[in-house]
Structures are given as structure tokens and as C-alpha cells.
Structure 1
Amino acid sequence: MRAYERIVEVLGDEADAESREWVRRKYTIRVRVAGVAAFALFVMIMGMSGTPWFAISTFILLPLMIVAVFFGVFMRGSVNKGLTRLIDDDCDPLLCARRTLALLEKDKKNADPRSGLFSYAYALRWQGKWNEAAKLMRALEDDADPQGQFLYHNLLAYCAWDKRDLKGLTAEVKALKELPAEGLSKDAASHIAEHVALRDMLSKELNGKPSKAAAGYLQVADDPKALPAHRVLFSLKAAGCLADPAERHARLAYVAEHGGTTWCMAEARKRLEKESRKGLGAPAGTAS
């Protein structure tokens, strides 16, 4: 089943008009313009070559090849990178999910169903819709392709960490390590190592070593090279481990201001309101 069809069937989510228009402007129109340009360039080259029979024999195949390569690699790739930046740089998984869904609808014949499901589920994860993300990815749990199983366990590992589910995260790490390496993408090992590090930090947090967990979270949150979304997420995680009220408040205030449409923003605001009710808000002169 294609990714868009499964999303509609499992979650009932459908592309909205605004996102469809965005896909039309950013993808469809550019694809058509590039196709005309590629075809015109081919005709010009064949006309200059002085070999009409060669031109006729390849009149259909070569233009299609050029267009397919250009569209498949450059055009869709550039749109996908733009969607990824909506989460990484803009902290806006809600908009990312909407536009991803519209792109999957438009390009549903060519889009890889596994990657499409993961992309949409990943945006759901960042919105805090962990159950919906897991439900959507369940189709890949017993996938014959190891990469499909990797995407399933990779997504569930992120969700388990978000929810502070150490048992679940440990189980997902075990499942990831048991997958055959030869059937996985080149970056699979680095993702597994990331989950191991997250598990270790969560273990410290839940097993009486919050200061050590906070140190690990803050190392990521304060890294100048860290993506904005990661700074928000790890700042929230650190806030849950900090003993000093003022430092904790500052971290939560940062997440509440910069969290965008991520679940982190809503969670930070909820914690700030709770602390305010308890009289543990920011010290005088500190922005809230």
C-alpha cells in the first residue's frame, strides 16, 4: 500500500488545500518547467549533432531518462530537504506534516512507501502524537526488508525516549541491534549509537542520577552546532533534571518561547504554569 493511502486509512488524515497549493508551487510547476527545458536542450543538441537517425531513435527514451533523473533526484530531494528544515530549523512539525502529506498525495506513485510513512510519523512524533505515529508505522514491524523494520524500531525508539519509557527504549535498542547490518542504510549504525546514548542518559535520569543526566542533556542543548529543534528538546529534558529553580525556569522559558509547534513547547508552558501556581516561578526580573 502506498504511504498516502495508508495514512488516510489508518489515521484519517488527508491533505489540505493550502498544502496542496504549496506542493503545486514548489514541486509540480518546477517539474513541468524543468521537463520542458530538458526536452528543448535535448532537441537542440541532436539538431547540432547532424545525426537525424540517432535523434529519431532516441527522441523518446533519452528525454525521459533526463527528466526522470532530474525530477527524481534534484526536484523531489530539494522539496524533502525543505520539509526536514521545517522541523530541524523552524520547530514546526505541524506544518511539516501537512506539507509532507500533500507531497505524498501528489507523488504517491513514485514516493517510497516506507520513507513516506516514516517522514509523516516522524513529524507526528515531534507533535507528541506518539500513539498515532506508532500505529502508522506498525505496517513495517514485520517488513521483509530489514530497512523497513529499522525505520519502525527507529521511530518507536524516539517515541519511547520522548515519553521517558526506559523499558520501551531498551527493547527498541535491542531490536535495532539484532537487525542484519547488510540490509540497512549506511547511517543506520549512527542512529543506533544515538539511541544507545539516549537510553544511557534516560537511565541516569530515572535511576537516581539526575545531575549526570542533566549534564548530558545540557551538552547537546548548549552545543552551538546543535539544530534548533534539538536545543529545544534537550533543554526540556535538562529542565526535568535540574534542582535549581531559577535555572529550571530559564530552560523552560526558553523552550516555551522557541518550541514552535513541537510538543516541547506545550509541555514547557504546562510546567511553567504549574511552578507558578506553586510559587516557584521566575525570580524577580526574569522573563517568563
Structure 2
Amino acid sequence: MRAYERIGEILGDRADEESRAWARRNYTIRVRVAGVAAFAFFMMIMGMSGTPWFVVSTLVLLPLTIVAVFFGVFMRGSVNKGLTRLIDRDCDPLLCGRRTLALLEKDKKNADPRNGLFSYAYALRWQGKWNEAAKLVRDLEDDPDPQSAFLYHNLMAYCAWDKRDLKGLTAEVKALKELSCEGLSKDASAHIAEHVALREMLAKEINGKASKAAAEYSGVADGPQALPAHRVLFSLKAADCLADPAERHARLAYAAENGGTTWCAAEAKKRLEKESRKKLAGAPAEEAPLSS
């Protein structure tokens, strides 16, 4: 079953017309234009070489097929990178999810539905729809292919960390470490190391070392290489641990202002509103725990 059909079956989500139009402009039309241009270029080269047309007719099919596959893969990769940037740089997982859904509907040749399911679930995770994301990838857990299990535990580890679920994150890290390296993507080890680091940060926060966790969260948020989405996320995490009201307020304000459609922005705004109500009531603002 294709990823788009599976998403509809589990969550009932469907592509909207605006996103379908985007998919036509940025994927389907470009692939067709690229294919026609490649065909024209091939014919020109064959004509310049003096090759008789009856020979061209027998030789053109295989090269054209190769070219079509090349351009199809190239354009698909280009569009996918653009979708990733919607989260990483624009902090807009809502638009990313809508466009991902439209692309999955349009791309009928998507041979590996696992990646499509993970991409959509990843956008849901950044929207704070952790339960929906988990439902979408649950079948991957029992898939005999180690890459499927990796995608499942990788996503669930992110969700556990978002929700400050130390027990859940610890279990996911353990499961990731136990996976066989054979059959995993080349960046799997880097993702596992990332989850180990996140687990260590969360353990400090949960186990009473809030100041150390705040320093590490702030260090990531303020790092020169941090992507905008990560600046927002780690600023919110730092606010969980900061004791100084002014510093906490500054971190929450940053997440609220720059978080776009991420769950981080909604959570930061909720906490700022709670602080404002308490100030108006004359009571000291307290740290609000993350709602899961």
C-alpha cells in the first residue's frame, strides 16, 4: 500500500487543492519539462553525429529511460530538500505536512512507502501531534527490515524527548542501540548518538540538575550552527530549567515569536499567557510543565 493511501486509512488526512497545485508546479511539470529537454538534447546529439534516423529510433528508448529516471530522482530529491527546509528554516511543519501529503499523492512511483510515512509523521511530530505520528509508523516496529525499525524508534525517541518522557526516551535509545548495523542508512549512527545526547540532557533536567540542563539547552540554542527550528525548540527546553524569571521569559518570548506553526510556539505562548495572568493577579509566575 502506498504511503498516501496508508495515511488516509489511519488518520483520514487528505491532500488539499492548494498543495496539489504546488506539487504540480514544483514536481510533475518540472519532471516532464526536464524529460522533454533531455529527449531534445539527445536527438540533437544523434543528428549532429550523422546517425541515420532508423538507428536513432532503435537507440533512443534506453537512453531516454535512463535520463527520465535520473531526472525523476533528481527532482524528487530537490523537492524533498525544500520540504525539509520548511521545518528546519521556516519553522512551518503545518505547511510541510500539507505539501508532503500532496507530493505523496502525486508521486505514484514512490516504491518505498516507509520514507513517505516517516516524512509525514515527522511533520506531525513538529506540530505536537505525537499520538498521530506514533499511529502512522507503528507498523514499522515489527517489520523485519532493520531500516523500518530504525525509522520507528528514531521518531518515537524524538516524540519522547519532546514530551520530557525520560523513561520512554531511555527505552527508545536502548532499542536503537540493539539494532543491527547491517541494512541501516549511513546516517543512522549519527541519529543514535544524537538521541543519546538528548537523553543525557533530559536526565539532568528530570533528576534535579536543572541548571546544568539549562546550560546545555542554551548552548545548543545559541550555537552558531543551530537551525532556526532547533533554536526555537532548545530555547523552550532551556525555559523549562531556568530559575531566573527574566531569562525564562526571554526564552519563551523567542520561541513564541519565531516558532511559526511548531508546537513550541503554541506552548511558549500558553506559558507567557499564564505568566501574564499571574502577574495581573499579583502572584509570582511559576514554571509551567509541558503538556503531553
User: Does the pair score TM above 0.5?
Assistant: yes
Tell me, yes or no, if structure 1 residue 63 matches structure 2 residue 55. Answer: no
Pairwise CA RMSD of aligned residues?
A: 1.1
Structure 2 partner of 1:171: 171
Tell me the distance in 2 between the aligned counterparts of 1:144 and 1:4: 22
Tell me the distance in 1 between the aligned counterparts of 2:258 and 2:107: 32
* Deviation sequence 1:74-121 (CA, Å, 0-9, x none): 211111111000000000000000000000000032252111011000
TM-score normalised to the size of structure 1?
0.95
Offset, 1:225: 1.4
Which secondary structure does the structure 1 equivalent of 2:142 belong to?
A: coil
Structure 1 partner of 2:206: 206
Q: Report if aligned partners of 1:121, 1:136 keep a CA contact under 8 Å in 2.
A: yes
Offset, 1:271: 0.6
Tell me the distance in 2 between the aligned counterparts of 1:234 and 1:54: 62
Offset, 1:44: 1.0
- Per mean C-alpha deviation after superposition, the further-off stretch among 105-114 and 218-227 is 105-114
Tell me the distance in 2 between the aligned counterparts of 1:54 and 1:220: 61
Letter in 2 for 1:188: A
Tell me the distance in 2 between the aligned counterparts of 1:115 and 1:197: 25
- Within 5 Å, give how 1:237-276 maps onto structure 2: 237-276=237-276
Letter in 2 for 1:67: A
Which secondary structure does the structure 2 equivalent of 1:278 belong to?
A: helix
Letter in 1 for 2:221: A
Tell me, yes or no, if structure 1 residue 35 matches structure 2 residue 35. Answer: yes
How many residues align? The count is 280
Which secondary structure does the structure 2 equivalent of 1:67 belong to?
A: helix
Tell me, yes or no, if structure 1 residue 218 matches structure 2 residue 241. Answer: no
Letter in 1 for 2:135: K
- Per mean C-alpha deviation after superposition, the further-off stretch among 141-150 and 254-263 is 141-150
Deviation above 3 Å: which 4+ runs of structure 1? none
Letter in 1 for 2:103: L
Letter in 1 for 2:243: A
Offset, 1:142: 1.0
Structure 1 partner of 2:290: none
Structure 2 partner of 1:122: 122
Tell me the distance in 1 between the aligned counterparts of 2:235 and 2:112: 34
Tell me the distance in 2 between the aligned counterparts of 1:111 and 1:27: 17
Offset, 1:56: 2.6
- Within 5 Å, give how 1:189-204 maps onto structure 2: 189-204=189-204
Structure 2 partner of 1:153: 153
Letter in 1 for 2:264: C
Offset, 1:8: 0.3
Tell me the distance in 2 between the aligned counterparts of 1:126 and 1:108: 26
Q: Report if aligned partners of 1:19, 1:102 keep a CA contact under 8 Å in 2.
A: yes
Q: Report if aligned partners of 1:4, 1:101 keep a CA contact under 8 Å in 2.
A: yes
Offset, 1:143: 1.2
Q: Report if aligned partners of 2:258, 2:265 keep a CA contact under 8 Å in 1.
A: yes
Offset, 1:152: 0.4
Letter in 2 for 1:175: A
Tell me the distance in 1 between the aligned counterparts of 2:66 and 2:34: 13
Offset, 1:266: 0.5
Which secondary structure does the structure 2 equivalent of 1:108 belong to?
A: coil
Q: Report if aligned partners of 1:3, 1:114 keep a CA contact under 8 Å in 2.
A: yes
Offset, 1:159: 0.1
* Percent identity of equivalent pairs: 80
Tell me the distance in 2 between the aligned counterparts of 1:253 and 1:175: 36
Offset, 1:54: 4.2
Offset, 1:51: 3.0
Q: Report if aligned partners of 2:235, 2:255 keep a CA contact under 8 Å in 1.
A: yes
Q: Report if aligned partners of 2:253, 2:268 keep a CA contact under 8 Å in 1.
A: yes
Offset, 1:169: 0.4
Structure 2 partner of 1:286: none
Tell me the distance in 2 between the aligned counterparts of 1:111 and 1:259: 34
Structure 2 partner of 1:50: 50
TM-score normalised to the size of structure 2?
0.94
Structure 2 partner of 1:18: 18
| Unaligned runs of at least 5 residues, structure 1 | 282-288
Tell me the distance in 2 between the aligned counterparts of 1:137 and 1:100: 16
Letter in 1 for 2:71: F
* Deviation sequence 1:205-231 (CA, Å, 0-9, x none): 000100011111011100121000000
